[in-house]
């Protein structure tokens, strides 16, 4: 929804992801479930370069640097310093000026 307050602020949408999420609860074969979750993670990590792992993004976040690189990290030398966080709000948005394409 446009007034989202609990996540997905970028309005991420992928019909293939939606199809997998809908199919997973009905699957009982462990090998097939592993394959489906692996595909879901690959799609998400390709589409979303940085995401929060829990409600404290400044403490717990992950990045995928196969497409984008140069995310902030502790003691990375940025000036002014950008705190390591998920780059979605406040001063964390400043990190987007440093993020670069791996293969432009």
Do 37 and 63 belong to one domain?
no
Range of the domain at 36: 13-47
Residue 19 is assigned to a structural domain of this protein: yes
By CB atoms closer than 10 A (0-12, 13-18, 19+), residue 96 is middle
Q: What would the pLDDT profile of 35-65 be if each residue is shown by its tens digit? A: 999 999 888 878 876 666 666 655 666 777 8
Do 64 and 95 belong to one domain?
yes
Give the tokens for residue 51. Answer: 């995401």
Distance, in Å, from the CA atom of 10 to the CA atom of 7, rounded to the nearest integer, reads 8
Give the count of domains, the chain: 2
Do 60 and 75 belong to one domain?
yes
State the pTM of this model.
Answer: 0.48
Residue 76 is assigned to a structural domain of this protein: yes
Residue 8 is assigned to a structural domain of this protein: no
Beta strands in 1-104 (DSSP E): 50-52, 61-63, 68-69, 100-101
pLDDT in tens, the chain (104 residues): 566 566 666 778 899 999 999 999 999 999 999 999 999 988 887 887 666 666 665 566 677 788 888 888 778 887 777 666 667 777 777 788 888 888 87
Strands 61-63 and 68-69: unpaired
Model pLDDT, residue 50: 65
Q: Is 101 helix (H, G, I), strand (E, B) or coil?
A: strand
Do 59 and 43 belong to one domain?
no
Residue 92 is assigned to a structural domain of this protein: yes
Give the tokens for residue 49. Answer: 């370069």
Do 37 and 80 belong to one domain?
no
Residue 2 is assigned to a structural domain of this protein: no
**What sign does the dihedral 90-47-84-104 (CA atoms) show?**
negative
For 13, 32, 98, the CA distances from 26, given in Å and listed in that order, are 22, 11, 42
């Amino acid at each position: 929804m446009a007034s989202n307050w609990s996540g997905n602020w970028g309005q991420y949408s992928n019909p293939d992801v939606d199809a997998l999420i809908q199919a997973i609860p009905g699957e009982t074969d462990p090998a097939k479930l592993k394959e489906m979750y692996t595909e879901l993670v690959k799609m998400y990590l390709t589409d979303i370069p940085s995401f929060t792992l829990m409600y404290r993004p400044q403490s717990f976040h992950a990045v995928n640097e196969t497409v984008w690189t140069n995310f902030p990290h502790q003691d990375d030398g940025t000036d002014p310093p950008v705190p390591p966080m998920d780059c979605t709000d406040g001063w964390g948005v400043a990190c987007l000026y440093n993020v670069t394409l791996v293969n432009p």
